[in-house]
Amino acid sequence: MDLDQLGVALAAASVLSPTSFPVHHLEVFLFVARKGHCTYEEIQEELNLSNSTVSRTVHSLGFMHRKGYEGLGLLNVDRDPKEGRRFLVSLSDKGQRLKRQLELI
């Protein structure tokens, strides 16, 4: 199963129970994994999520959760060198390892 197939499966599952199973976290991870790097806005548009949901999700998948505790460490967030008000999201080393594991499925 490739990441696109897994993304489709998770999107379908999220319709069944979006509040008790935060599939959008995995969808965000998979979108970033497929793109290599992207902006919050690209995630928002692709997955039809609000800006606040994207922000919370990226922080929890990143190194520091917005509430101050440790995140999952799967994503890096850096300022876009071309536009200082924008942030670029990419996979961390840990995220790259997870991507490679998923690609073996």
Cut 0.85: pTM above it: no
For the chain, the 3-state helix, strand and coil shares in percent, each to the nearest 5, are 55, 20, 25
Q: Which of 89, 100, 102 is nearest to 28 (CA)?
A: 89
CATH of the domain at 90: 1.10.10.10
Work out the pLDDT band at 31, boundaries 50, 70, 90: very high
The answer to whether the beta carbons of residues 57 and 25 sit under 8 Å apart is: yes
Work out the pLDDT band at 62, boundaries 50, 70, 90: very high
Q: Per the structure, how many domains does the chain have? A: 1
Q: Which of 1, 4, 2, 43 is nearest to 24 (CA)?
A: 43
> How long a stretch of residues is the chain?
105
Q: Which domain holds residue 13?
A: 3-103
Q: Say which amino acid occupies 101.
A: Q
Q: What is the pLDDT of residue 10?
A: 72
